[in-house]
Amino acid sequence: MPEGMIIPAESDVRFQFDVIRNLAESVRQQSEVLRGVQQTQITMLERLARIEANRVNETVAKLEERVEKALEKIDALESDRDRREGAIGVLGWLAKNWPFAVVSAALGVLVAWANGKFGR
């Protein structure tokens, strides 16, 4: 054996072995704790994602409702405009073609009178 080399006593080796074993156990326990913390974080993130998804779904539902109401209003306004344009169109046609309209109405009255008088 080289000079200056100290051979530890058996109790020292056992002590060092116990220290290393205790350190290994401590590392194992810390790893389990860390896994538990990580799992808790994952669970919290999943819950947060579900909460945010629900908020988005609620917002989308509200927007869909508003869009549906807006479309109903647009349909009503377009229908009203079509009625007005139709009435204005008839009046415009009558204004341009009043002689034809008067002759047509007179002819209609004459035909009705003739059917009444000769239909009996």
Higher pLDDT, 12 or 3: 12
Residues shown for the chain: 120
* Residue 2 reports pLDDT greater than 60: no
Check if the beta carbon of residue 38 is closer than 8 Å to that of residue 44: no
4: left (phi over 0), alpha (psi -120 to 50) or beta: left
**pLDDT for 48-64, tens place per residue?**
988 888 888 888 889 99
Q: Is the pLDDT of residue 26 over 60?
A: yes
Task: Provide the residue ranges of all domains of the chain, joining segments of one domain with +.
Answer: 10-118
pLDDT at 105 exceeding the cut of 90: no
Residue 23 has pLDDT above 90, yes or no: yes
The predicted structure's pLDDT at residue 72: 95
For the segment 66-89, the average pLDDT, to the nearest whole number, is: 91
Average pLDDT, integer, range 95-117: 84
pLDDT, mean of residues 62-84: 93
**Quick one: average pLDDT of 100-120?**
80
